[in-house]
Amino acid sequence: MMNLVLQCFILLPLAAFLLSFMFPSKREQLLSGWVLSTSALHLLGLLLFLILWILDGAPLLDKRHITFYHTEDIEIFIDLYFDRTTAVFSFIGSIMMLLVSLFSKTYIHRDPGFKRFFVTLLFFFTGYNLVVFSGNFETLFIGWEILGVCSFLLIAFYRDRYLPIKNALKVISIYRIGDICLMLVMWMSHHLWHENITFITLNDTALVANHLLEHQGYGVFIALMIFLAAAAKSAQFPFSYWLPRAMEGPTSSSAIFYGALSVHIGVFLLLRTYPYWESLMIVKVIIVTMGILTTLIASNIASVQSTVKTQIAYASVAQIGLMFVEVALGFHWLALIHFSGNAMLRTYQLLISPSVLSYRIHDMMFHFKPKVESKKNAYFARLYHTFYMLGIQEWNMDHFFSVLLWTPAKKIGRSVSFLSTRFFIILLSFIYLSGLVLNIYRESISIDLIEFLPFVYSVIGLLLLLKAFSFRGNAIASWLSVFSAQLFITLGVVFLNEHFGFTEIGLLLSGSIASALIGYLTLRKVYQIDQDIQLNRFHGYVYEKPILAFIFLLCCLGMIGLPFTPSFVGIDLLFSHIHKHQELVIIFTSISFLFFEISVLRIYARVFLGPHKKEFHPIAFKSS
């Protein structure tokens, strides 16, 4: 019975989210009351469930629910799991949701985006519960993706400004690195376990020990990908720089996302997968080392920042670094207590952050003390000033990623701009159609050619995505380039595995084709307004065409494979059909999916968000 109740904690916020679209935008009391009622009911139900669960001896609960896909080789299903980690994270999450909703009812009052804020908040709460109640990687990944999309939407909440949109794209870029790492975890797990491994199975110490003994190298790879996914999601070094930039959204969303819940999901991932990597000493050493390094660097940065939210962000990052250390050393109860305290403290600090300036002015008026100059050793003075400058510059983490990843990708994308010429469009079409014909007669093709072609199609797909990522011309051309890239990537995997048949292709492309077609028609509709949707500027069409903006956003989410389309299952199948010995193909496919979501959301942001290009609309300064 208790196993069946678990799904209620997912379905309640999901139903509230879907029904919230029916509320009129101007009925603030009705909408906020609906969200508060949902949050209170969720907290009350969870509290009663926890009491009964504890009285029953706190057993491990695991329940398989919906099966999306099933064959002899692979099964994709929703699995819900409950233990003490879930208990703590779900209880703290439910409390924070209720408190922040209550605060936001007044804080967002009469804001044009009042309904948009609360609808997104309910969507976030659905994703959060999917993560903390997840019983396998697929279920966790659904919630993980929802958290990323909600982060993007709420960071870009003030969509008439320049910086929120830019920072939303910057944050989703780092989130996408974590997404790809989690995809690689699922990919390798499918090959090593030959099943959809559940978290309750990972508690079988003997089974995991035998698995790692036979495949230690692959086991270390999975553990490192888990750590990288957790580090990216929880803003650990060198990913830390995205967290203060995420504070561009409303204060209340900053509190629940980056003070309380979303930023701690990396800790949850490590706790949930600990039985898998606890015997891998090299992984534990890496996690402890990076956790300590993050704590030292984040503390240094927080101590010299001039803005309150940035100080709070890096202070939280420093504490999460210590939580990583606690998890790796096996102090899980300490990590759970630490998470609860840090979540509540950072939420409080962020909610009162708009008032801190007046507090500080009052304190300076009555407690001012002139600074006393002290003589320092020249060496220590230089060392002090070095760390001071590094802290001010946030240890150049943003510049590091720009030089290492984003700038080279843009250079490659600009260098292959010739792919959009008529000649190369015809050539790529011929190559693709030839690939379809060769796949039909694959039995008469040499094995060497079959092994070489997937690599070729993967490279073409990646180049098309890099072109779309760096393209500053017509948005329609960029949109078609993204969809063409997905077709080439799919064809490459079809060559890899004869078992990737029409059913799998249909699951992958059914949602993508519909989304691509509707998205194309939407962009054409916008283009007809004034024949200008170049990606070299923000257009802000959401003000004049909000319905088209919403439709195109749904198309973007459908293209990237969010769970409301079959493409979600198709993407999982796509990765699982790449053999573990085909390293080059998985590398190019992973990099492609890294830029896939960024390119799609970039088109949405440039066309529909940002300062409106028409001067009769209010235009915010770039610095605001």
- Kindly state whether residues 268 and 164 are assigned to the same domain: yes
383-392, 459-468, 566-575, 578-587: least confident range: 566-575
**pLDDT score recorded for residue 518:** 94
511 in a structural domain: yes
- Kindly state whether residues 591 and 455 are assigned to the same domain: yes
25 in a structural domain: yes
617 in a structural domain: no
How far is 335 from 327, CA to CA, in rounded Å?
6
- Kindly state whether residues 354 and 437 are assigned to the same domain: no
**pLDDT score recorded for residue 617:** 61
| pLDDT tens string 606-624 | 999 988 777 666 666 665 5
Cross-strand bridge partners of residue 75: 70
**pLDDT score recorded for residue 376:** 63
How far is 519 from 534, CA to CA, in rounded Å?
16
How far is 283 from 290, CA to CA, in rounded Å?
11
477 in a structural domain: yes
Tell me the mean pLDDT in the region 120-145.
92
**pLDDT score recorded for residue 478:** 93
Amino acid identity of 471?
F
Q: Which residue has the higher pLDDT, 211 or 570?
A: 211
**pLDDT score recorded for residue 204:** 82
Which residue range(s) make up the domain with 150?
2-358
| pLDDT tens string 238-263 | 999 899 888 888 888 888 888 889 99
| pLDDT tens string 151-162 | 999 999 988 888
- Kindly state whether residues 512 and 594 are assigned to the same domain: yes
Picking from 319, 340, 358, the residue at the C-terminal end of a domain is: 358
**pLDDT score recorded for residue 288:** 96
How far is 283 from 286, CA to CA, in rounded Å?
5
| pLDDT for 35 beyond 90 | yes
**pLDDT score recorded for residue 552:** 95
Secondary structure (3-state) at 79? strand
Cis peptide upstream of residue 250 (ω within 30 degrees of 0) = no
Tell me the mean pLDDT in the region 40-64.
92
Instruction: Write the DSSP string, 430-467.
Output: HHHHHHHHHHHTGGGS-HHHHHHHHHHHHHHHHHHHHH
- Kindly state whether residues 344 and 427 are assigned to the same domain: no
Query: Please, are residues 521 and 475 in contact by the beta-carbon 8 Å criterion?
Result: no
390 in a structural domain: no
Q: How many CA atoms lie within 13 A of 217 on its CB side?
A: 2
What does pTM read for this prediction?
A: 0.92
Query: Please, are residues 603 and 560 in contact by the beta-carbon 8 Å criterion?
Result: no
How far is 454 from 489, CA to CA, in rounded Å?
8
| pLDDT for 361 beyond 70 | no
Strongest mean pLDDT among 22-31, 124-133, 204-213: 124-133
Structure token digits, residue 148: 């990323």
pLDDT interval class at 364 (50, 70, 90): low
240 in a structural domain: yes
- Kindly state whether residues 314 and 431 are assigned to the same domain: no
Tell me the mean pLDDT in the region 556-581.
76
How far is 383 from 388, CA to CA, in rounded Å?
9
Which one, of 305, 179, 172, 148, lies nearest residue 242 by Cα?
Answer: 172
Tell me how many domains the chain contains. Answer: 2
Query: Please, are residues 111 and 28 in contact by the beta-carbon 8 Å criterion?
Result: no
- Kindly state whether residues 175 and 57 are assigned to the same domain: yes
- Kindly state whether residues 443 and 298 are assigned to the same domain: no
200 in a structural domain: yes
Picking from 311, 333, 358, the residue at the C-terminal end of a domain is: 358
| pLDDT tens string 502-561 | 676 777 777 788 899 999 999 999 999 888 899 988 988 998 889 999 999 999 998 887
Picking from 317, 338, 358, the residue at the C-terminal end of a domain is: 358
Query: Please, are residues 573 and 74 in contact by the beta-carbon 8 Å criterion?
Result: yes
How far is 470 from 448, CA to CA, in rounded Å?
34
Instruction: Write the DSSP string, 162-181.
Output: HHHHHHHHHHHHHHHHHHHH
How far is 81 from 105, CA to CA, in rounded Å?
33
| pLDDT tens string 367-422 | 667 666 666 677 787 888 788 888 888 888 888 888 888 999 999 999 988 887 78
Percent of the chain with pLDDT over 90: 43
| pLDDT tens string 409-450 | 999 999 988 887 788 888 888 888 887 787 777 677 777 777
432 in a structural domain: yes
